[in-house]
Amino acid sequence: MNAWTLAEENPSGSFALDALSRIIAHIGSPGFASAALSDINRGLPAGSWSVYRTSTASAPVCYLSGSYLRRDATGHCFRAYRDGLYREDSTFEALTGNTLGIVHLTAGDVRNAGHRRMIYERHRLRERLSAARRRDDGSILTVNLYRHDDQAGFRDRELAEFGIMARGLFSAVERQIALQPECGLRNDEQALRRLAPDLAAREMDVCLRLLRGMSHDGIACDLGISATTVKTYRNRAFARLGIHRNNELFAAVLRGDEGALRSR
């Protein structure tokens, strides 16, 4: 029998596998977005990142986003994108089939002037490096790293490192998204109204997105508010519902069991 101890760092000198091992450990954590971005920055500096699904047929959905050691403007960027810019987004047109692809572009490569001005120029984004896959329904799930104007451009070595880690990073993100089931929004809203008729609009917004499996960071990005504010609305909603945890919210909505809520 042989046994040996693994080195703390990857002896090949590539940071990608080390980063992935740390990112995998965060799957399922409410702090996945910030923790994963911090791990990515151990070897591939990125000022911010986002994970969203986009389609020309329906409004995009942001699952998570965040910034590293800077003011977080990802929520403002996504709101501008969702408010109509996504319809003219041609940056993923080179993707074919449903295989994972890499897209690297600079702000100047964004052909739509409004898209370039309202997101890249307004928020001083220099480059985007994405891992993206087209789904069977035509939508595209994309994991995006952004360099800002105060950062150097991506170098060839960094692009190669991203290529090594892209598939594992994409799978980790997909798993994070899939951990909570999606439910029909309209039915969920009706169920929540029956369970707690006094839910405020923002409390409803947050609960509906929790039911879609979105993280606190993703909800903050989608609604254009801070993650701290998301938690405040969640706590208020849970107090009205008489629950304490996300799994209780899922169980109550799936059963429509008002009695179970009030008996807690």
CATH of the domain at 231: 1.10.10.10
> Rounded distance, CA 108 to CA 115, Å?
11
Indicate whether 59 and 172 sit together in one domain.
Answer: yes
Indicate whether 162 and 200 sit together in one domain.
Answer: no
How far is the CA of 44 from the CAs of 90, 155, 157, 226, in angstroms? 26, 10, 10, 25
Nearest to 138 by CA among 218, 82, 58: 58
Residue 83: what pLDDT?
Answer: 85
pTM over the 0.85 mark: no
Helices 216-223, 201-211: inter-axial angle, 10-degree rounding: 130
Indicate whether 31 and 134 sit together in one domain.
Answer: yes
Indicate whether 126 and 247 sit together in one domain.
Answer: no
Given 178, 199, 222, the domain boundary residue is 178
Nearest to 173 by CA among 18, 65, 15, 42: 65
- Total structural domains in the chain? 2
User: pLDDT tens-digit profile of 136-163?
Assistant: 888 899 999 999 999 999 999 999 999 9
- Would residue 209 count as lying in a domain? yes
Indicate whether 204 and 167 sit together in one domain.
Answer: no
Cβ-contact 51, 65 below 8 angstroms: yes
User: pLDDT tens-digit profile of 233-254?
Assistant: 999 999 999 998 888 887 777 6
- Would residue 190 count as lying in a domain? yes
Q: What percent of the chain has pLDDT over 90?
A: 40
Q: DSSP string spanning 147-169? A: EETTSPPPPHHHHHHHHHHHHHH
Q: Token digits for 30? A: 């409410």
Given 139, 163, 178, the domain boundary residue is 178
Most confidently predicted of 135-139, 170-174, 180-184, 185-189: 170-174
- Would residue 21 count as lying in a domain? yes
Residue 62 has pLDDT above 70, yes or no: yes
Taking the C-alpha atoms of 207, 75, 36 and 172 in order, what is their torsion angle to the nearest 10 degrees?
60
User: pLDDT tens-digit profile of 64-78?
Assistant: 888 999 988 888 898
Q: Token digits for 193? A: 């109204």
Taking the C-alpha atoms of 18, 30, 55 and 137 in order, what is their torsion angle to the nearest 10 degrees?
80
Indicate whether 167 and 191 sit together in one domain.
Answer: no
Indicate whether 141 and 192 sit together in one domain.
Answer: no
> Rounded distance, CA 28 to CA 215, Å?
10
- Here the CATH number for the domain that contains residue 100 is 3.30.450.80
Residue 127: what pLDDT?
Answer: 96
Give the residue numbers spanning the domain of 234: 185-262
Helix/strand/coil (H, E, C) string of 54-78? ECCCCCCEEEEEEECCCCCCHHHHH
Average pLDDT over residues 73-90: 88
- Would residue 79 count as lying in a domain? yes
- Would residue 258 count as lying in a domain? yes
Indicate whether 44 and 66 sit together in one domain.
Answer: yes
User: Exposed, middle or buried: residue 71 (CB in 10 Å: 0-12, 13-18, 19+)?
Assistant: exposed
Three-state DSSP state, 24: helix
- pLDDT grade, residue 196 (50/70/90)? confident
Average pLDDT over residues 5-10: 50
Given 125, 160, 178, the domain boundary residue is 178
Indicate whether 207 and 150 sit together in one domain.
Answer: no
